[in-house]
Amino acid sequence: MLIFIFQAIWFFIDELAGKGLDIAIVGKFLFYYSPNLIPNVLPLTILLASIMTFGNFAENYEFAAMKASGISLQRAMKSLIVFILLLSIGTFFFANNVIPAAEYKSYNLRRNIAKLKPALVISEGVFNDIGDLNLKVEDKYGENDKFLKNVIIHMKNTKNENSTVIKSKAGELVSSENSNIIQLILKDGNYYEEVEQKKRKQQTFPHAKAHFETYTMNIDLSELNDVDLEKENISNTYKMLNIQELKYTADSLEKDYSKIVTNFGNSIYIRAANLHEKKDSLFTKKDSITAFEQNVLDMLDKNRELQIIDLALNTIRGAKNTVEGKKYDLKRRAKIINLHKIMMNDKIALALSCIILFFVGAPLGAIIRKGGLGLPIVIAIGLFITYYFIGIFAKNLAEDGSMNPHMSSWISTFILLPLGIYLTRRATADKEIFDIGNVTEKITRLFKKKTKS
């Protein structure tokens, strides 16, 4: 768990660093985020613990003493099997109730942290939202990085349209500790603003443009710095839902998706029907009768032939552009539906994976006869990486619809199921993982038969 928490710190370091957060806020975020790590931590923990425990038993010949006393491997594992079953049931309820609640807390806290003190986190080379401004700088330098180089600012109007652009070669941030107002002094730049008109004439774009030596902007940070870190207003992401809510949401999204596809198909059909009506207006009654007997274009004069071709081409281009534009939206909606289905199955698959990984690790430890933190860790990490990446690969395929989302959560678990059965049978019979001597003997016999013949 500690290793995965350190990984989470590095993952969110850009969002936590440079905002003046105290250790309590960072600790609270990590506390809320830690339950999200359980689906990765728990399977690896069970696998490693079972290999180490049964490896120690076998290495110290305790299994030999048990068998000499008439205690079989299954009987020795009985109490742990009961414990693993109870742990799996608890894991399911944890994944179904605690993890969604923790995701709700951590997600909202993370959003609130992202709004905190944006003046401290003007990143170089990217656009940064500060109040109503969208600001990009090429470089920051000087004391407290207050001097800026090559500043670009986009400002929105009352209609939330990007109508003003300011570019300057240099800038400076001037602020006071006791003030929520920060001054942005721009030097040697240009100001461009689109002028809004009630009735715009075609091909006219009125605008105002000016060059300045020095231009000062006052930015009010009172609302931005007064961020309530306990505010929680986002509660509808798929990771925040339990199985019942995921099922209901997925069904609702699928109904909306089907309705959108149907309406889109009808709109394309109506467009084609309108084209048919326009086509009929270009033909006389006599033309319509003879259209079945010969090429349509051959029976028209040159002007009407060009009209028909232009109408067809414009309709096809319009339909193609419409379909291409709708394609992205439908793909995004399908991905959201698949994510809900994957998360719904993940909660059940996590509980079952605890049982299967125990039956992989326990007999494997008994077979390799090695405990401690050496070989068991290597084997456990190798098996876990295989289990983890198979699951990731399957879920990536399921997100874009290449695989059934209900199956993707179970593939890695079902691949390890035969391995668990095989290892348990080998350990029960007190055999090695592979009987190399038996295989070598069979190959030798085969070659002897060929030599005699």
pLDDT at position 286, please? 47
- Quickly state the pLDDT bin for 88 (edges 50, 70, 90): very high
Tens digit of pLDDT for each residue in 334-345?
Answer: 888 988 899 889
Domain boundaries, given as residue ranges, for the chain: 1-117+238-453, 122-220
- Quickly state the pLDDT bin for 84 (edges 50, 70, 90): very high
Tens digit of pLDDT for each residue in 187-225?
Answer: 999 988 877 766 655 556 677 888 888 988 887 655 544
Mean pLDDT calculated for residue range 95-119:
76
| Top-confidence residue, 115 or 333 | 333
Mean pLDDT calculated for residue range 391-409:
86
Task: Out of 90-99, 288-297, 413-422, give the one with best mean pLDDT.
Answer: 90-99
Mean pLDDT calculated for residue range 364-382:
79
Assign 3-state DSSP to the chain and report helix, strand, coil percentages, each to 5. Answer: 65, 15, 20
Mean pLDDT calculated for residue range 298-318:
75
pLDDT at position 291, please? 46
Amino acid identity at 435: D
In this structure, of 49-58, 326-335, 369-378, 440-449, the range with the lowest mean pLDDT score is 440-449
Mean pLDDT calculated for residue range 394-405:
86
Mean pLDDT calculated for residue range 171-189:
76
Tell whether the model's pLDDT for residue 119 goes beyond 50.
Answer: no
pLDDT at position 111, please? 72
- Quickly state the pLDDT bin for 83 (edges 50, 70, 90): very high
Mean pLDDT calculated for residue range 357-377:
81
pLDDT at position 278, please? 53
pLDDT at position 198, please? 63
Amino acid identity at 288: S
- Quickly state the pLDDT bin for 179 (edges 50, 70, 90): low
pLDDT at position 285, please? 46
In this structure, of 77-86, 157-166, 238-247, the range with the lowest mean pLDDT score is 157-166
| Top-confidence residue, 109 or 226 | 109
pLDDT at position 289, please? 43
pLDDT at position 407, please? 87
The strand pair at 133-141 and 127-130 is best described as antiparallel
Tell whether the model's pLDDT for residue 376 goes beyond 90.
Answer: no
d(CA 3, CA 8) in angstroms, rounded, equals 9
CB atoms inside a 10 Å sphere around CB 175: 16
d(CA 149, CA 187) in angstroms, rounded, equals 10
pLDDT at position 450, please? 67
pLDDT at position 440, please? 63
pLDDT at position 118, please? 47
Mean pLDDT calculated for residue range 264-273:
77
| Top-confidence residue, 316 or 345 | 345
In three-state secondary structure terms, 354 is helix
Mean pLDDT calculated for residue range 182-190:
86
The full DSSP string for 266-322 is HHHHHHHHHHHHHHHHTS-HHHHHHTTTS-TGGGS-HHHHHHHHHHHHHHHHHHHHH
The pair phi, psi for residue 124, each rounded to 5°, is -80, 140
The pair phi, psi for residue 187, each rounded to 5°, is -130, 140
Whole-number average pLDDT of the chain: 78
